[in-house]
Structure 1
Amino acid sequence: MASPRTVPNFLAGPYLERLSQLRKDEMQLRAALENPATLFVPVWRTQSFVAHLDQGFAAQFVTGLTHFGTTETQEVILLGEFRGQLCFAIELPPAQTPGFDPSAEFVDLRGVAGDLVRDEAGVLAYARAMVLWRERHRFCGRCGSPTVSAEGGHVRRCGNEQCGNQQFPRIDPAVIVLVTDGERALLGRQAAWPPGRYSTIAGFVEPGESLEDAVAREVREETGVEIDAVDYHSSQPWPFPSSLMLGFTAHASRTEIRRMDDELEDVRWLTRAQIAAGEVALPTTHSISFRLIEDWYDAGSATPLRQEPHARLWTSPVRPTPPR
């Protein structure tokens, strides 16, 4: 059986072939857009198109570019090859109500991602991230001129020839860490969260800072706890809007909690017994937060965390109701 660390986190893994070599091939891109079998992932107001199933949801792809009123390669973003077909993301005008399959609808991906098949969730997340990047870089950051799409949607070039600035997709690295003293895990909650929700410590990496330094700083700033060992665990793309979560575990050298800022409303040490009893609600199972907690918990318990009858998870946001 594969080691837990060899299994990709949700929204990660080889869910498609990115085919970066095609991004500069205008002829192949045009041929793909004319192919009626080509898949399109529409994104409308940052929402993703899904269909309701008896159990969960399914990504709803659209075939045929004519549905979108354009034939220009500059209007689409090449994602790669998905299930044997080329696949593109396309942004729909926010003021226009999409008129696609009435049995499906546009929803916030954050609320339904865990109920999608893994590869479909990955493609929808990738499309969402690219569309958001495109929408936020329509103008040159150097001279302010409008930018134009190039290389399959993966470059934004300044339209001012005297400037010629190029912009590429960016991600925001963030560290997320489970701190333990061996028998207890350190979890905190934000004031805006519903009562009972707790999670691991997280924060963005700052310029000129290593990942290890960011872990130590975030833990110290948010909890007052000091750590003396940091180990990389795994990573997870998190396109809400454009983060890459870099997961770590850390050992506490000083366990006294002293909140040094207002980032967290409460911080506490929890034993496995307290977690199993449902004293706090844990993050959803498709998050890297849960995986960090789960791996620590299972390493010291005869009963896996997912089999503990009283362990609690965050309740998901209100999901869309199936069409009647």
Structure 2
Amino acid sequence: MSAWRFCPLCGAGLQVRAVADLPRLVCGADCGFVHWDNPAPVLAALVEYHGRVVLARNQGWAAGAFGLITGFLERDEDPAAGVAREVKEELGLDATAVTLIGVYPFARQHEVIVAYHVRAEGEIRLNEELAEFRLIAPEKLKAWDFGTGLAVSDWLARRVP
């Protein structure tokens, strides 16, 4: 449950009540506010660049921790266009093909991951969010058992060399 305590509309205290048979925070003064607390949609890109997969390390991550390119879906944005935008923003690369890998729950971060295989070209130029990148041959890529690693596992299982 969220850490919200007060209604953002009227300032009354929030209470846990069943809404559509689910526990939700609702305004105690009954102004109509319901904090739905739904997971955020996150886009993930398994970027294939010159036959290799790009893994990147976020500035805030520990040394040696690498992952896929990710970012939040913007309002009114098509997810496939959004993942191409994220690849352009974070790596400076242009998407030439975008294919859905799958959709994965990521309860630990309160997110839903929409993962794509993105073929890209251009010159890699990291933005300020990323510290470094690695290019991994697909046959040496190893999936991890949470978050975007589930998409890596599915992509590797379906991949035709």
Superposition TM-score, scaled by structure 2 size? 0.82
Contact 1:235 1:288 in 2 (8 A): no
Structure showing the higher helix proportion among its residues: 1
Question: Which of the numbers 11, 20, 23 marks the counterpart of 1:154?
Answer: 23
Indicate the SS of the match to 2:42: strand
1:223 aligned residue? 91
CA RMSD of aligned residues (A): 2.4
CA distance in 2, matches of 1:204, 1:228: 21
- Unaligned 5+ runs, structure 2: none
Closer, same or farther: CA 231–156 of 1 in aligned 2, 3 Å? same
CA distance in 2, matches of 1:237, 1:296: 16
Closer, same or farther: CA 233–297 of 1 in aligned 2, 3 Å? closer
CA distance in 2, matches of 1:272, 1:168: 40
- Unaligned 5+ runs, structure 1: 1-130, 277-281, 302-324
Question: Which of the numbers 132, 144, 149 marks the counterpart of 1:290?
Answer: 149
2:128 aligned residue? 262
Closer, same or farther: CA 196–168 of 1 in aligned 2, 3 Å? closer
Closer, same or farther: CA 153–139 of 1 in aligned 2, 3 Å? farther
**Whose RCO is larger (CA < 8 A, sep 6+)?**
2
Q: Which amino acid aligns with 2:95?
A: I
- The correspondence of residues 80-91 of structure 1 with structure 2, limited to 5 A, is none
Closer, same or farther: CA 168–195 of 1 in aligned 2, 3 Å? closer
Equivalenced residue count is 158
Is structure 2 residue 103 aligned with structure 1 residue 244? no
Q: Which amino acid aligns with 2:27?
A: C
Question: Which of the numbers 31, 35, 45 marks the counterpart of 1:177?
Answer: 45
Superposition TM-score, scaled by structure 1 size? 0.44
Higher radius of gyration, 1 or 2: 1
Question: Which of the numbers 141, 145, 153 marks the counterpart of 2:12?
Answer: 145
Q: Which amino acid aligns with 1:269?
A: L
Per-residue CA deviation, residues 9-51 of structure 1 (Å, 9 max, x unaligned), is: xxxxxxxxxxxxxxxxxxxxxxxxxxxxxxxxxxxxxxxxxxx
Q: Which amino acid aligns with 1:251?
A: R
- The correspondence of residues 23-172 of structure 1 with structure 2, limited to 5 A, is 131=1, 133=2, 135-136=3-4, 138-151=5-18, 152-161=21-30, 163-172=31-40
Percent identity between the two aligned chains: 27
Closer, same or farther: CA 291–159 of 1 in aligned 2, 3 Å? closer
CA distance in 1, matches of 2:104, 2:122: 28
Contact 2:106 2:147 in 1 (8 A): no
CA distance in 1, matches of 2:101, 2:138: 20
